[in-house]
Amino acid sequence: MERLQENDLDEASACFQKALEINSNMAAPYVGLGEIALRNYDYAEAERCFDKALAIDPRVVSALSGRGEARLGLRKFDEAIKDFDATLAVDPRRVAALGGRGYAYANTGRLDEALEDLNRCVEEEPTNPNYYVNRGLLRQKRQEFSQALADMTKAIELDALNPMNYVMRARAYESAGDWDAALADFNKALEIDPQLAAAYKYRGLHFKGLGDWENALADLSRALEINATDADVYFERAGVLNQLGRKEEADADLAKVDELNPSIRGGDSETPTTE
């Protein structure tokens, strides 16, 4: 998977498709296509590809772990936990699966188990900023706001050029009630990467929380221009449009939610972060 490692995703995808044309009973090309879909935040396609790989060979650990990541993106947390459990049964030291399971635990109310998994991730890979981010998110759920901010700040210390770290710290500032500091971090993220859909998404939610409907609409719409497959954003924009009295457009967004990920309707809207 050299092309995939080099981030030449289009060429890698073409190579995997060609391999399947030659022999459709190989698991590896489906794993590669699944990993590409994950990088493109197309979680439904990623799940489909990993399903194909596991139908061919259920022993492929990377497909199990990858499907768990896809199911996090689809908010299928219980199913994700099963995939990560199966992964860790084969490879107990696969830290990414441990982190993914910790995130899934956090989203199913199993906060103590989540903290245990994420603490282990930090112990195993103390220079990986992603685990500090996810532990920070968990600590927000546990209302441990100062510890959450410490974790997010540690992530930035480890990788100050990753705009998502600023997005995550901004959300921690919001939880702590520091809205000005949150906005500063959202703006910093977009200064680093003006095309970061997640920064527009969460800054849009920031404005929504303040009742600033016009700025919320602008940011959520910009997020969808960059990534048109994020069902969460359609769901949140529908709420903003309803506030602005634009019901027909809101209904169109909700129809898009049903098309992309109907499980969101009736639940809280949230997208997983890095593993």
- Alpha-carbon distance of 48 to 33, in angstroms, equals 10
Find the domain containing 203 and state its range: 197-264
Amino acid letter, residue 238: A
Asked, for residue 274, whether it belongs to a domain, the answer is: no
- Residue 274: pLDDT band with limits 50, 70, 90: very low
Domain boundary among 73, 94, 126: 126
Task: Report the pLDDT averaged over residues 261-266.
Answer: 79
Task: Report the pLDDT averaged over residues 39-52.
Answer: 94
Asked, for residue 272, whether it belongs to a domain, the answer is: no
Q: Supply the pLDDT for residue 171.
A: 93
At residue 97, φ and ψ (nearest 5 deg) are -70, -35
Q: Supply the pLDDT for residue 12.
A: 85
Answer yes or no: do 235 and 167 share one domain.
Answer: no
Q: What is the dihedral of CA 187, 135, 178, 264, to 10 degrees?
A: 70
3-state secondary structure labels for all residues of the chain: CHHHHCCCHHHHHHHHHHHHHHCCCCHHHHHHHHHHHHHCCCHHHHHHHHHHHHHHCCCCHHHHHHHHHHHHHCCCHHHHHHHHHHHHHHCCCCHHHHHHHHHHHHCCCCHHHHHHHHHHHHHHCCCCHHHHHHHHHHHHHCCCHHHHHHHHHHHHHHCCCCHHHHHHHHHHHHHCCCHHHHHHHHHHHHHHCCCCHHHHHHHHHHHHHCCCHHHHHHHHHHHHHHCCCCHHHHHHHHHHHHHCCCHHHHHHHHHHHHHHCHHHCCCCCCCCCCC
Task: Report the pLDDT averaged over residues 52-57.
Answer: 96
Answer yes or no: do 66 and 174 share one domain.
Answer: no
Residue with token string 């100062």: 146
Asked, for residue 275, whether it belongs to a domain, the answer is: no
- Alpha-carbon distance of 124 to 144, in angstroms, equals 23
Cα radius of gyration (the chain):
19
Residue with token string 């245990």: 116
Answer yes or no: do 13 and 111 share one domain.
Answer: yes
Asked, for residue 27, whether it belongs to a domain, the answer is: yes
- Alpha-carbon distance of 152 to 267, in angstroms, equals 26
Answer yes or no: do 25 and 115 share one domain.
Answer: yes
pTM for the complete prediction? 0.72
Answer yes or no: do 100 and 35 share one domain.
Answer: yes
Q: What is the dihedral of CA 225, 231, 237, 239, to 10 degrees?
A: 170
| Total count of domains within the chain | 3
CB neighbours of 20 closer than 8 A, spacing ≥ 6? 26, 29, 30
* Average confidence score pLDDT of the chain: 92
Residue with token string 């719409």: 221
Q: Supply the pLDDT for residue 7.
A: 58
Answer yes or no: do 32 and 85 share one domain.
Answer: yes
Answer yes or no: do 177 and 156 share one domain.
Answer: yes
Asked, for residue 135, whether it belongs to a domain, the answer is: no
Domain boundary among 77, 97, 126: 126
Q: What is the dihedral of CA 118, 141, 193, 163, to 10 degrees?
A: -40
Answer yes or no: do 154 and 213 share one domain.
Answer: no
Q: Are 271 and 99 in contact (CB under 8 A)?
A: no
Domain boundary among 81, 97, 126: 126
Does the pLDDT value for residue 127 go beyond 60?
A: yes
Asked, for residue 98, whether it belongs to a domain, the answer is: yes
Answer yes or no: do 170 and 80 share one domain.
Answer: no
Q: Which CATH number belongs to the domain containing residue 60 in this structure? A: 1.25.40.10
Asked, for residue 273, whether it belongs to a domain, the answer is: no
Answer yes or no: do 242 and 180 share one domain.
Answer: no
Q: Supply the pLDDT for residue 272.
A: 36
pLDDT digits (tens, 9 = 90+) for 251-261: 999 999 999 98
Answer yes or no: do 170 and 230 share one domain.
Answer: no
Q: Supply the pLDDT for residue 266.
A: 59
Asked, for residue 271, whether it belongs to a domain, the answer is: no
Answer yes or no: do 185 and 114 share one domain.
Answer: no
